[in-house]
Structure 1
Amino acid sequence: MSRPLRIAVVGAGPAGVYAADLLTKSDADVSIDLFEKLPAPYGLVRYGVAPDHPRIKGIVTALQKVLDKPEIRLFGNVEYGVDLKLDDLRQFYDAVIFSTGADKDRELDLPGIDLPGSFGAADFVSWYDGHPDVPREWPLTAEKVAVLGVGNVALDVARILAKTADELLVTEIPDNVHQSLKSSPVTDVHVFGRRGPAQAKFTPLELRELDHSPNVEVIVHAEGIEFDAASMATIRSNKQVEMIVKTLQEWAIRDVGNRPRRLHLHFLEAPVEVLGSTEVTGLRTETMELTGDGNVRGTGEFTEWDVQAVYRAVGYLSTHLSDIPFDHHSGTVPHDRGRVLDLDEVPMPGTYVTGWIKRGPIGLIGHTKGDALETITSLLEDADTLPQPIFTEPDAIVQFLEQRAVPFTTNEDWKKLDAHEIALGAAQDRDRVKVVDRDAMIEASR
C-alpha cells in the first residue's frame, strides 16, 4: 500500500491507547485517529479510579506519551452514534477498533433494589470522579450504608463513603464532591460478600489501604472467616489470596479501636432483599456456608441490617453501540480474536474490538495490553483484505466534523485543560482540581 493504513479507534481509555501504541510499534505504516466522547482522554483512569489513588493515576504519564506520537491524533468531545456512525468512519478509515469500555452498573435482581436510597456503584464513582455527564449532587443522607460486593470497586466506594471529606482534600476531588461529602452523616459502612474471604476479588493493596485512614476503624467480622478444601487449595497456590486472607485474619482478632467511623467487612452473607416501602430502611442477608468446592449454599439463617442506603458493586456493564452486534447477557461484542462478528457469526470487514467491551469488565488495567495485542494481530493479518475508504487524506475527517459543527478537542487542547487543572490545584496546594462541567472543560481547552 502506497499510503499509511488509516485506523479509527473509538474510545481513548487505556484499551484504545494501548491498541494505538501497538499499531505504531508494528512494522505497518499506520495513521491512527482516536475518538473520545469526553473532552479529556484516559477513560476509567480519569473517571473510574478513586481520587485517593494517585499512584494508579500515574499511568496517565505513559498514556500521554502514546498520544504524543506523530502517527496518532486525538478527537475529543466526539460521540460515536451521535456525531458519527460506523458508515461515516468507513468512508475515512481502512479499519475501526471499538474500545469503549464499560461504565454502567450490572443489574442485581433483588426485591427492593429499585427503592430510593439504592444506588449503582458505577454511578457513584462517576459522581465522585467528576464525570461531566452525571448530576453534580448526590444524596448523602444515610448514617449506615451497605455496599454489596467484594471487588476493588466495592472497596473504593466503601472507603470514599467512610473517609472524612477533608482527608480527600489533598487529592483531585472536585469541589462539589468535597462539599457534599463534608455534610455526610455516615458512621458505619458495611461491605457484604456472599462467599468466603478466599474468594474475594479485591487486591491485597486495595484491602490494606482501607486501614490507612486515622478516622476509619476497619472491622472484620470473624464469623465469616471460614475456609473449605477449595479455599485452602487457593490460598496455597495463590500468593495474592494468601496475603488477603492473612490480613483479614489479623484484623478479625484484633481489638476494635475508637476511630469515629467504622467500615465493616462481612463474608458469607448473601443479600436477599432491600427493605423499605418508600425508601431504603434496611437490608436482609442470608448466612451462607462453603460447600467444599469454593461455592456456597444458604443456611436458612437471616439477618436484618439497619442501613439507610445500599450500593451495589457487582460489576460494570458495557453499553450497546449502534451498528454492531451486542450480547446483552455478557455485555460484550461477539468477536473472534478481536474481529467483530455479525449476527451470522461472520467477521464484519474492517471492524474490531478490544478492552472490556471485548472481554467483559474483568482484570486490571495491565491486562488490557495482552487483550489489545490479540486484536492488533488480527487486524494486521487482515491488512491486505481490508475495505478501502473513499477519503484517504487525514484532513478529510476534520472537514467532516467541522461541517457537522462538532466542537471536537485535540491532544493540544487536552494539554491546555490539563495545565489549567494543575494550576487550579497549585493555588490550593493540591496536585490538581478537576474541571467537571463539560462546557467549562471545552472552554479551558481553547
Structure 2
Amino acid sequence: MRHIAVIGSGPSGCYLADHLLRLVPDCRVDVIERLPAPFGLVRYGVAPDHQGTKAVARVFDRMLARDRVGFFGHVEAGRDVRLAELETLYHAVVLATGAPDDRRLGLPGEDLPGVIGSGRFVGWVNGHPDHPDPGLAPPRAAVVIGNGNVALDVARVLAKTPEEFDGSDLGADAARFLAAAPLEAVHVVGRRGPGDAKFTEHELEELATLARARPMLADPPVPIEDTSCCAVLRGFAGLLPKPVTIAFHFGWTPEAFLGNGRVASARFRNSAGAVLDLAADLVVTCIGYRTRACCTATPEDGRFANDDGHVRDRLYAVGWAKRGPTGTIPTNRVEAQTVAQRIASSLGSDERPGGAGLRSLLDARGIRWIDQGGWSRIDAAERAATAPNRCRNKLTTIDAMLAAASGAA
C-alpha cells in the first residue's frame, strides 16, 4: 500500500484525493485539515447565498467516506505535526492549503475600523472560526474595491433583503448586521476599464434580479467594448430605480482611506489625475489573497515555488497553493488531475506507515483529532439546529465543533 497525505481539504485537495484513488489502486489518501470541518473554500469562501456552488461538498463528502481515505481534522502541519515528519510517514505529501490571507493595498488609512479584506468579510458571513464578528458599523454607503466576482459577491450580499437569504447558510450575526444596515449605495470600484474586468456574465446578471437594489454605471460614457461583461453593463441602463444603488466605477485607482476613528470615505485617482472621494461607512477590499507558510515550506509571491506541482522530493502543491489565487472551483478539478498523474508516476514502493503512523504520533502527543465520523456528527448537529429558512446553522468556534464531534452537542 502506498500512502499519500494531502494537507488541506478544500476543492483542490478533495479533487486531488479523488483522482489519486482512481489512478493508484493500491494507495491510501489521508486528508489533513487544520479545522475540525472540511471543504475549505466551498464551506467558508463561497458566498452563503450561492448554495448551488456549495453543493459540490456532497461529492467531497462521499469521497471522504471511502475505505481508502482517512480524515484528520483539527490537525495543523507545523503546530501538531512537522512537515518533515509527514514526509517520512508518507510516500508523497501535497500542499493544498489554499491562500487564506488577504492581500493588502498598503495605503494610508487601511487600518481604520471599517476597512476590511474580502477574505475576512466573507469568512465572517460564512461562520469561519478564524473570523468572528469584526465589529463593523451597519453601513449607509459601502465601497467595494475590485473587478472580480468576489467584489460582486460582497456587493450582492450587502444589497440583499433578509428574505433573499432564505435557504442560505448565512450566520445569525451577519444576518442581523445586514438587516440593520440603512444601506443606500454600494460602490464597486476598479482600476481597470470595463472591458478588462474579471466579472463573469452570470454574476453580473444576478445583480439585476435583486429585490431592492439596482445596478448602474456611475461614470459615462457607456462602455462600447465588445465583451459579454460590457453587454450586461450596458443593459443596466434600462432598469427601474430602487432604494439601493450598486454603482460601478471603472478606471479609478485607490489612493487612501479617510476618517477620524473610523473610515468615512475612500479616495481614488484616475489616469488623468482627477480625484474621486466616495463616502463610505464600510470598505471591503477584494484584491486577492496570499498563501500562508506551511511549517518549513515558505511561499514566494503568494504561492509555493513548484515545477508543475512538484516542490521537492515527495512534496507537491496543488490549487491556489500551487498557482496563486486564480481560477474557479472547476479549475481545481482539471489541475488536480494533472498533478495526480505526476504524483502517480513517481510514487515509491518502500514500506511507510502512513495514517497508522500519523495516528500514533498524534495520540502520543495528546492531540485531539477529528475523523470522518466526527465530521459527520458536526454536520448533523449543524443541520439539526438550523432555522426553518436556513439550510444549516454553522458552529462558529473550534470548541463547539469539537463538542459536536464527540456527540456532546
What TM-score do you get using the length of structure 1 for normalisation? Answer: 0.86
Residues 13-412 of structure 1 correspond to what in structure 2 (within 5 A)?
Answer: 13-223=10-220, 225-227=222-224, 232=225, 235=226, 242-251=227-236, 253-254=237-238, 256-257=240-241, 259-287=242-270, 298-327=271-300, 330-340=301-311, 348-384=312-348, 388=350, 391-392=352-353, 394-412=355-373
2:399 matched to which residue of 1? 439
CA contact (8 A) 2:3 2:354 kept: no
1:420-435 aligned at under 5 Å gives the runs: 420-425=381-386, 428-435=388-395
Question: Which deviates more from structure 2 when the two are superposed, residues 354-363 or residues 275-284?
Answer: 275-284
Question: Structure 2 counterpart of 1:416, which letter?
Answer: R
Change (3 A) 1:189 1:200: same
For 2:369 and 2:204, locate their aligned partners in 1 and report how far apart those are by CA, in whole Å: 40
Change (3 A) 1:440 1:325: closer
Distance 1:31 1:204 in 2: 41
CA distance in 1, matches of 2:69, 2:398: 24
The residue identity in structure 2 corresponding to 1:254 is G
Deviation at 1:220, TM superposition (A): 2.1
Look up the equivalent residue of 1:380 and give its one-letter code: A
Shift of 1:56: 0.3
RMSD: 1.9
Is the 2:7–2:13 Cα contact (8 Å) retained in structure 1? yes
Cα deviations across residues 21-74 of structure 1 (Å, max 9, x unaligned)? 111111451011000011111101000011100100111122122212211111
Q: Is the 8 A contact 1:166 1:182 kept in 2?
A: no
Task: Provide, for residues 398-433 of structure 1, a one-character-per-residue CA deviation record: whole Å limited to 9, x for no partner.
Answer: 1221121222111122112212222222x5243222
Q: 1:114 to 1:429 in 2, by over 3 A?
A: closer
Q: Could you tell me which amino acid in structure 1 is paired with residue 322 of structure 2?
A: K
Aligned to 1:245, the other structure's residue is in SS state helix
Segments ≥4 residues shifted beyond 6 Å: none
Q: CA separation in 2, counterparts of 1:302 and 1:31?
A: 58
Equivalent residue letter for 2:405: S
Taking the aligned partners of 1:140 and 1:44, their CA distance within structure 2 comes to 26
Aligned-residue identity in percent = 34
Partners in 2 of 1:108 and 1:137 — Cα distance? 19
User: Unmatched 5+ residue regions in structure 2?
Assistant: none
Aligned length: 406
Alpha-carbon distance, 1:106 to partner: 0.9
**What is the rounded CA distance, in whole Å, between the counterparts of 2:2 and 2:30 in structure 1?**
11
Contact 1:140 1:185 in 2 (8 A): no
> C-alpha displacement at 1:273, in angstroms?
2.1
Q: Residue deviations 1:323-366, cap 9 Å, x none?
A: 12420xx20101112111xxxxxxx2211111101000000011
Paired AA for residue 360 in structure 1: G
Cα distance, 1:41–1:249 mapped onto 2, change above 3 Å: same
Contact 1:217 1:262 in 2 (8 A): yes
